[in-house]
Amino acid sequence: MVGNKVSHSNIKTKRRFYPNLQTKRFFIPEDNTWITLKVSTSALRTINKNGITAVLKKAREKGMLA
């Protein structure tokens, strides 16, 4: 996403808004393995709500994971 940085004197310059990415390890109990994912904080909330297994299954169905 792109927007303007506005200074105190109201000068506008272009800036970018970056997603809040975090590197996180998750344990998969079905496979008894750990995986490392770089996910946004909103994705972390989704994983906490639905569980890592359900989120991975949905990502595979959408073709986001191999």
pLDDT tens-digit map of 8-50? 999 999 999 999 999 999 999 999 999 999 999 999 999 999 9
User: Is residue 7 in some structural domain?
Assistant: no
pLDDT tens column, 44-61: 999 999 999 999 999 999
User: Is residue 5 in some structural domain?
Assistant: no
DSSP for the chain, please give it.
Answer: -EEEEE-TT--EEEEE----EEEEEEEETTTTEEEEEEEEHHHHHHHHHH-HHHHHHHHHHHTS--
User: Is residue 39 in some structural domain?
Assistant: yes
The number of folded domains in the chain is: 1
User: Does pLDDT of 66 surpass 80?
Assistant: no
User: Is residue 57 in some structural domain?
Assistant: yes
User: Is residue 45 in some structural domain?
Assistant: yes
Domain that holds residue 45: 19-66
| CATH number, residue 56 | 2.30.170.40
pLDDT band at 64 (very low <50, low <70, confident <90, very high): confident
User: Is residue 50 in some structural domain?
Assistant: yes
